[in-house]
Amino acid sequence: MASHVLVTGGAGYIGAHACKVLKAAGFVPVTFDNISTGWEEAVKFGPLFKGDLMNRADIDAVLVQYKPVAVMHFAALSLVGESMKHPGLYWRVNVNGALNLLEATVAAGIRNFVFSSTCATYGDQDGVLLNEDTPQRPINSYGGSKLAIEEMVRNFSAAYDLRHVIFRYFNVAGADPEAEVGEQHTPETHLIPLMLDAVAGKRPALTVFGTDYPTRDGTCVRDYVHVMDLVDAHVLGLKWLLEGKDSRVFCLGTGNGFSVTEVIDASRAVTNRDVPMTYGDRRPGDAVTLVSGSEAAIRDLGWEPKRSTLRDMIGDAWRWAQAEPFKA
């Protein structure tokens, strides 16, 4: 019988893709989601348990019902701008939700935990290739809350032998190449889907926030990783734990940063359409450059970021955008 894996946030962008890859790897992904930002239509690869991480009883119930061998934790509030305006919301929901989950996990006797963290824990460290040993200095409440959860995971590991893998990454992009699931947020805040909406005429224009950054063309630079590559790493991390290996932190990226302008130029090449644009001020909390190395994941996990090129990421996202997205 296939083993169950609890996937918090499995109705969201990354979580839904993780569920697809988990099913392909022989697991039964159990989505735990309150559907506040996710989509029921995205839950295609295993059962859905509607629950809220702020309610400990919900977590206890799903763990009793499915008895998973591991927990894969994606669920979180994740908008940098919102986290700057409402820091208390991010500390309350992200940190308290993770605390409830960790306490329920160890109480249920589960000892394998995969946590989806972020390079936002590093803050603004321009010109530095971010790796597992880079000092973490978050500059927004989103990054701060994720750093707090990382420390909480380590504390629980020390106290309860909860073996864990923590992944830090930044700009996730692209979609399932088969277009079964894809990226869709309400509101949408990510560059590539916003850009493709503008290309398709679903919004008047893409707003470029800040053109005076100290970069090669004045726009922010980010390391983009394809969502399918990202979730492949999470499954490798799960298998790492199930094989009895030690707790680890892995950064996931390509080591190559692309500016907003370069992403827009790549979109023109992929779609053969222009990108309507307007320009706005910098957004509070946005770092100048974030590039994440992944040498440890490649060396130790055997991870291969096969689709993390701008052409593949934009091409897959464009295919999804032209398919039948989830209904609002």
Same domain? For 84 and 196 the reply is: no
Query: Domain boundary residue among 251, 267, 298?
Result: 251
Q: Are 118 and 287 in contact (CB under 8 A)?
A: no
Q: Would you state the pLDDT for residue 193?
A: 85
Same domain? For 231 and 212 the reply is: no
Token readout for 218 is 């004045």
Same domain? For 20 and 77 the reply is: yes
- Which one is predicted more confidently, 225 or 2? 225
Same domain? For 162 and 297 the reply is: no
Q: Would you state the pLDDT for residue 187?
A: 73
**3-class state of residue 28 by DSSP:** strand
Q: Would you state the pLDDT for residue 327?
A: 61
pLDDT in tens, 214-224: 999 999 999 99
In a domain, 24, yes or no: yes
Catalytic residue check, 213 = no
Same domain? For 48 and 165 the reply is: yes
pLDDT in tens, 170-207: 889 999 999 999 888 677 778 898 898 899 888 899 99
Q: Would you state the pLDDT for residue 185?
A: 66
Domain harbouring 281, CATH code: 3.90.25.10
The band of 328, judged by pLDDT with boundaries at 50, 70 and 90, is: low
User: What is residue 108's DSSP assignment?
Assistant: T
Q: Give the start-end residues of each E strand in the chain.
A: 4-8, 28-33, 48-50, 70-73, 112-116, 129-130, 163-168, 171-173, 206-209, 221-222, 224-226, 248-251, 258-259, 277-280, 289-292
Helix axes 191-200, 260-271, angle to 10 degrees: 40
Query: Domain boundary residue among 209, 233, 251?
Result: 251
In a domain, 328, yes or no: no
Same domain? For 238 and 102 the reply is: yes
Q: Are 291 and 223 in contact (CB under 8 A)?
A: yes
Same domain? For 153 and 268 the reply is: no
Q: Would you state the pLDDT for residue 110?
A: 98
151-158 mean pLDDT:
98
Residue 286 has pLDDT above 80, yes or no: no
Token readout for 56 is 């400990």
Total count of domains within the chain = 2
The band of 272, judged by pLDDT with boundaries at 50, 70 and 90, is: very high
In a domain, 184, yes or no: no
Q: Mean pLDDT across the chain, nearest whole number?
A: 93
The band of 324, judged by pLDDT with boundaries at 50, 70 and 90, is: low
Same domain? For 200 and 67 the reply is: no
Q: Would you state the pLDDT for residue 223?
A: 92
Strand partners, 14: none
Same domain? For 69 and 128 the reply is: yes
- Note down the domain range covering 147: 4-173+223-251
Same domain? For 161 and 203 the reply is: no
In a domain, 78, yes or no: yes
Token readout for 160 is 């309860």
In a domain, 178, yes or no: no
Q: Are 118 and 178 in contact (CB under 8 A)?
A: no
- The CA distance from 165 to 163, in Å, is 7
Same domain? For 149 and 272 the reply is: no
User: Among 131-140, 160-169, 185-194, which stretch is predicted with the lowest mean pLDDT?
Assistant: 185-194
CB-neighbour burial class of residue 265 (10 A; exposed 0-12, middle 13-18, buried 19+): middle
Same domain? For 169 and 202 the reply is: no
146-159 mean pLDDT:
98
CB-neighbour burial class of residue 29 (10 A; exposed 0-12, middle 13-18, buried 19+): buried
13, 90, 122, 142: the active-site residue? 142
Domain harbouring 231, CATH code: 3.40.50.720
The answer, yes or no, to whether the previous bond of 325 is cis (omega within 30 of 0) is no
In a domain, 122, yes or no: yes
